[in-house]
Amino acid sequence: MIDERIARVVVVHALIATSACTNASTPAAGGAASPPSPHAVAASPSASSPSPAPVAPVPETLAFVAGQFGLTMQSEGFTWKVLRRNVTRFDWSGRAHDKAGGEREVLYSFFIDKLDDASFAHVPEIATSAAANLTTDGETCKPVEQPSRIVQELGVDRIVTVCFEPSPFYGGKEQHRNSVLHAIVRGRALTVVAVLGNESAAILPLPLVVGARGAR
């Protein structure tokens, strides 16, 4: 049984995340912000510190198609691979390879290039149906409209999120369980993004999580 509490805490997580970002950059009441320590600025990296992982550029084909759907793909933190849509239902896979990404994988389907009015009104149903196709028994939680703060953070117009437990075909050897699907609307284009992982934070479609943001 999918735990629908995951869906209900989306707004709470969104407000906490936004508040944390605001508080981190705002001085405490009654005093000025402390300047950074000069020692911290001048300190050189330790000889034992691991070197950062090389950044693989976003494939040109992916960048071009994503641009048509109003998105800019992220290279840092992700390695992208083309998929066969007739086998996987998705066009691209992004593997996170940094600490923030953990064992997460994102699957992209550039789904509908121009939503008509009827389809736009039924994005929650489209998202639910798409998520059900990735499960063993078709069970998902109820679709949730992401709050405006999260939508603006990603730089798009609308996001509908549905949580699901992926079938073994999608869960893979990592046996992902707490997975979500985001239906992302930019303009009238609809992109479907499945985030396969085990972290509840994946319900927040931030750029670091989904590997993209709205094109500027």
Residues 119-172 have pLDDT tens digits of: 999 999 999 999 999 999 999 999 999 999 999 999 999 999 999 999 999 987
Beta strands in the chain (DSSP E): 71-73, 78-82, 92-96, 105-112, 135-140, 144-145, 158-166, 179-186, 189-196, 212-214
> In the CATH hierarchy, which fold is given to the domain comprising 5-18+58-214?
Protein Transport Mog1p; Chain A (3.40.1000)
Determine phi and psi for 131, rounding to 5 degrees. Answer: -65, -40
Residues 36-85 have pLDDT tens digits of: 333 333 333 344 444 555 678 999 999 999 999 999 999 888 999 999 99
Give Cβ neighbours of residue 135 (< 8 Å, ≥ 6 apart). 164, 165, 166, 167
Query: In residues, how long is the chain?
Result: 216
Domain boundaries, the chain: 5-18+58-214
**Residues 193 and 105: beta-carbon distance below 8 Å:** no
